[in-house]
Amino acid sequence: MTSSTDRVAIVTGGSGGIGRVSVERLARDGLAVVVHYAGNKDRADETVASVVDAGGRAIAVGGDVADEHRMGAVFDAAEQEFGGVDVLVHTAGIMPLSPIAQLDLDTFDRVQRTNVRGTFVVDQLAAKRMRAGGAIVNFSTSVTRLQIPGYGAYAASKGAVEALTLILARELRGRDITVNAVSPGPTATPLFFEGKTPEQIDGIAGANPMGRLGTPEDIAEMVSFLAGPARWVNGQVLYVNGGAA
């Protein structure tokens, strides 16, 4: 495996929430980072600036995560700017909530396109183009175990992400590339807070054995581990949720 100062990471959804904190953590670990964004270029540029101001290396590249041509260009940029790709951290996803009986099918299709097809697209590119010693870190959710009403479409998409993760890990036999999925529990990000009352947020935090919500930094700690020293962790779904059932 190349040294951390020679390693290059692509972080999808790297302009906010868990993605941004993961970018900053990987940069502190010595990796050059490609900050992928879907629509918010200004926020991605701010993330890049925070890395560069701290002495790191980063660029921002936009694109629809489910578009293989746009995401191919993200990998092209990583190779042209930094020499290759060693780590993929795929945080990009959407989470509209609705009971299954009331969910509009167009919304269901949009969730599956972004979360399932998007994962397939970037994982396929990584499988073809990642250097030996690499690490693919997909994102699932603890909701696949918690079965919270309203999360049907999202949990279904993340169940598919877990299946892709476990199969790809075995398909990459002999490549020295690990493939794992991180499954956060409720985490204090804008995506989590959207549409919830203060009472709901307090209830969710209080139900956790640790008595709080997770933070993006908690999740980035696992990303750093899987992207770097965790060479014997492969084909796993790791629940990072403070002990939520």
Q: Write out the chain's pLDDT in tens, 245 residues.
A: 555 569 999 999 999 899 999 999 999 999 999 999 998 899 999 999 999 999 999 999 999 999 999 999 999 999 999 999 999 999 999 999 999 999 999 999 999 999 999 999 999 999 999 999 999 999 999 999 988 899 999 999 999 999 999 999 999 999 999 999 999 999 998 878 887 899 999 999 999 999 999 999 999 999 999 999 999 999 999 999 999 86
**How long a stretch of residues is the chain?**
245
d(CA 119, CA 127): 12
Q: CATH code at 142?
A: 3.40.50.720
Counting Cβ atoms within 10 Å, is residue 217 exposed (0-12), middle (13-18) or buried (19+)?
Answer: middle
User: Is 154 one of the catalytic residues?
Assistant: yes
The CA–CA distances, whole Å, from 80 to 4, 9, 73, 141, 142 equal: 18, 13, 10, 33, 36
Q: Rounded to two decimals, what is the model's pTM?
A: 0.95
Would 64 be classed as within a structural domain? yes
245 within domain boundaries? no
Is residue 229 in some structural domain?
Answer: yes
Q: How many domains does the chain have?
A: 1
- Quote the domain boundaries for residue 201: 4-240
* pLDDT at residue 1 in the model: 52
* Ramachandran quadrant class, 235 (left: phi over 0; alpha: psi -120 to 50; beta: rest): left
Residue 76 counted as domain residue: yes
How far apart are alpha carbons 5 and 130 in whole angstroms? Answer: 17
